[in-house]
Structure 1
Amino acid sequence: AGSDGRASVRTEVHTPVGNLTALDRPAGFTSWHEERLFRSPADYEPLEAMIRDRTYEPTYEKVAQLQDLLGGDGQVRVAIGYSPLQEIIYSLMGLEVFAMEWADNRERVMRLYDALTEDRRKIYPIVAQSPALTANYGGNVTPEVVGVDRFERLILPHYDEAAEVMHQHGKLLGVHFDANTRPLAPGIARSKIDYVEAFTPVPTCDMTVAEARAAWPDKALWINFPSSVHLQSIADIEDMTRQILREAAPGHRFLIGITEDVPEGRWRENFGAILRIVNKHGRVPIAG
């Protein structure tokens, strides 16, 4: 436990070239990184050793059991994890440390990136051959952090490579694009992914549903109902739902989801309002 008495989880990694430690604090369905595996340039070598030593084994029976439990009411979606650059930024280093290392030790960062690229290639066929029909490949791509150039050179190619493997087995690949997407939209359009998941429209992020449909006409659009609207009145939530449906018309390959936290005490009435409008106005084909 920490000094405040709350539980934390310490992870220790031992390699022939050095040891690593991390400290994470559980927080509901997620956790906070208090101390990351990477703390200084001395950690590059053991991190690379850890990554290159990883092995993966399928657990297809768990996927099949969950799908049997859901029956026709849902589909199990599996995940590949972050793409290499995203894992470095958000899992191994954190944003501030990554920015300094990118400026001072870019060659070493790219060696980690190369090791993670080979690591991810171990995962693609396992996921593609699973009973699940769909898989997410990371996401949380923040254009203000990675920029368009790094996105198109160092992130998109991994989505395309994974999509090719998935498609060989008749499976679909999507990405959790839950931030601003306007600068990334042309690259997403050219990519081989099948769906854009967690897309969050105006007023929370920077594109409307209509703009997303126009930008990615060949991809399914799986949106997150804009989080900021959950703080507004039920009438406003109903109006936003109507607007989203109009912009999604005729509604093919379109899903409305909730991928972020909803303010405590609001989910029941908010979800009810969204569902009322969807049931009334969301039958395909939707009128524009």
Structure 2
Amino acid sequence: MGMTSRERIMAVLRGKEPDRIPWSPLVGRYYVNSLEEQGIKLEDIAPREMAKTPALKRDVNLYEVEVVRHIGADIMYRHVNSYKLHYKNCKLINETRNGVRYEGFETPVGKIYSEHKKSGGTEFISKHLLENKKDIEVLTYVFRNAVVEPDYQDFYEFDEHIGDDGIATLTGPLTPIQLMLQFYVGVANTTYFLMDYKDEMENLFSEIHNLNRDIYRVMAESPAEVIITYEDTSTTVLSPAWYEQYCKKELDEYADIIHDYNKIFITHMCGKLSLLTDTLAEGKMDGIDSVCPPTTGDLEPGDALEETGKIIIGGLEPAALVRMNVEETREYTLEKLKQVGTGRNFILSTGDSTAYGTPLENLKAITRVIKEYGQFPLNL
């Protein structure tokens, strides 16, 4: 008798042998929202009344789970929250005026806020939270006065709904520099700030890191077994030197906290990684998620396994799956599977979120390939 999807995924993540290679595409709301354009009604995949709990009723959470179940893949559900943050002596800004969403903080040492606009259905940051040296001081105050509180309810709800068909994973906070690059400052100004205000920025990083450690302790004490931090690491925005200086030690500390509770720590790194593999091999994370081959990424799954020695999740370029037909998808999947040897320490997935408009039949074709050829150990 074969393993359940939950047993299969956890076997790989625990360094054991699965019955076959897990196939766990990253399905998010952008992909789910594109299915109607393909003539696929979400109600036909899962009736809305199937959502029995608040977490499943929120946004398109139900369909992010049920699309993966529908294509016959192993569910590895992402972005489950497990904590609340409370900011002492701070007033949170979260309001929308004239189509612009504002987020930020009012504090005794100043006020900071970001602006978010929409274009073509996509929201983007039109003004970052930090724009000058004074803003750095304000955000430092915010993090110094933040406290974390456990909140595991969403995990319990997703875990029960998924059952033996997979796992739910918690989302861990980013390293401080990645928080700046992705959300609070942007690539250009992060670079300038670290040149012009290095002491102030590193002091801010220290406060964020202290809070992050508290958050990871809360996650480690949760009922979840797997925690993923969505670093989005890529040498297109972060040099190997910066990774060494501002990410490696921090990620290792988070891994130590998670490992103290016998939990699994995965880093989501969906960009170009070929210049980082030696450093990643030294890291304490258990695995690397959303490893993407060319041209979006630059690391093939077989090379990632060999050069890092980590569990590798990924292997399929999302942009390629959009363009291909079913037969091309089948051949492409087999090509990637041939690279990974026996398939030990490997979970087949999309190298980041499944792209908007990807034909659903392509995802089903990958399921058929895995069921036909994916028995462990692979022999292709």
TM-score, normalized by the shorter chain, greater than 0.5 = yes
Q: Does 2:299 align with 1:207?
A: yes
1:228 to 303, 319, 324: 319
Cα distance change of structure 1 residues 27 and 172 upon mapping to structure 2, 3 Å threshold: farther
Residue pairs, 1:100-249, within 5 angstroms: 100-217=192-309, 219-223=310-314, 225-230=316-321, 231-249=323-341
Does 198-207 or 163-172 show the bigger shift?
198-207
Question: Which SS does the other structure have where 2:238 is aligned?
Answer: helix
Cα distance change of structure 1 residues 54 and 31 upon mapping to structure 2, 3 Å threshold: farther
**CA-CA distance at 1:30 after TM superposition:** 7.7
- The question of whether the paired residues in 1 share the 8 Å contact of 2:140 and 2:207 is answered with yes
Supply the distance in 2 between the matched residues of 1:28 and 1:223 (Cα, whole angstroms).
29
Cα distance change of structure 1 residues 65 and 27 upon mapping to structure 2, 3 Å threshold: farther
1:58 aligned partner: 150
Cα distance change of structure 1 residues 36 and 195 upon mapping to structure 2, 3 Å threshold: same
Q: Does 2:358 align with 1:262?
A: no
Please provide the CA RMSD for this pair. Answer: 2.1
**CA-CA distance at 1:235 after TM superposition:** 2.6
Residue pairs, 1:1-16, within 5 angstroms: 7-16=99-108
Cα distance change of structure 1 residues 26 and 63 upon mapping to structure 2, 3 Å threshold: farther
- The question of whether the paired residues in 1 share the 8 Å contact of 2:115 and 2:127 is answered with yes
CA deviation vs aligned residue, 1:16-63 (integer Å, no higher than 9, x gap): 100111122468998421222101222111111111111111112321
**CA-CA distance at 1:262 after TM superposition:** 2.1
- Equivalent position amino acid for 1:130 in 2: S
Aligned length: 283
* Gap regions ≥5 residues in structure 1: none
Question: Which SS does the other structure have where 1:57 is aligned?
Answer: strand
Supply the distance in 2 between the matched residues of 1:189 and 1:81 (Cα, whole angstroms).
21
2:161 to 27, 48, 69: 69
Structure of higher RCO (CA pairs closer than 8 Å, 6+ residues apart): 2
Supply the distance in 1 between the matched residues of 2:371 and 2:158 (Cα, whole angstroms).
27
- The question of whether the paired residues in 2 share the 8 Å contact of 1:24 and 1:34 is answered with yes
2:61 aligned partner: none
More helix by percentage: 1
- Equivalent position amino acid for 1:138 in 2: Y
Q: Does 2:85 align with 1:85?
A: no
TM-score, structure 2 normalization? 0.70
Question: Which SS does the other structure have where 1:144 is aligned?
Answer: coil
Supply the distance in 2 between the matched residues of 1:224 and 1:28 (Cα, whole angstroms).
30
Supply the distance in 2 between the matched residues of 1:260 and 1:90 (Cα, whole angstroms).
16
* Gap regions ≥5 residues in structure 2: 1-95
CA deviation vs aligned residue, 1:182-227 (integer Å, no higher than 9, x gap): 111111111111111011123432121111111123x211105212
Structure 1 stretches of at least 4 aligned residues deviating more than 6 Å after TM superposition: 26-30
Supply the distance in 2 between the matched residues of 1:29 and 1:118 (Cα, whole angstroms).
36
- Equivalent position amino acid for 2:134 in 1: A
**CA-CA distance at 1:95 after TM superposition:** 1.0
> What is the percentage of aligned positions where both structures have the same residue?
20
Cα distance change of structure 1 residues 30 and 225 upon mapping to structure 2, 3 Å threshold: farther
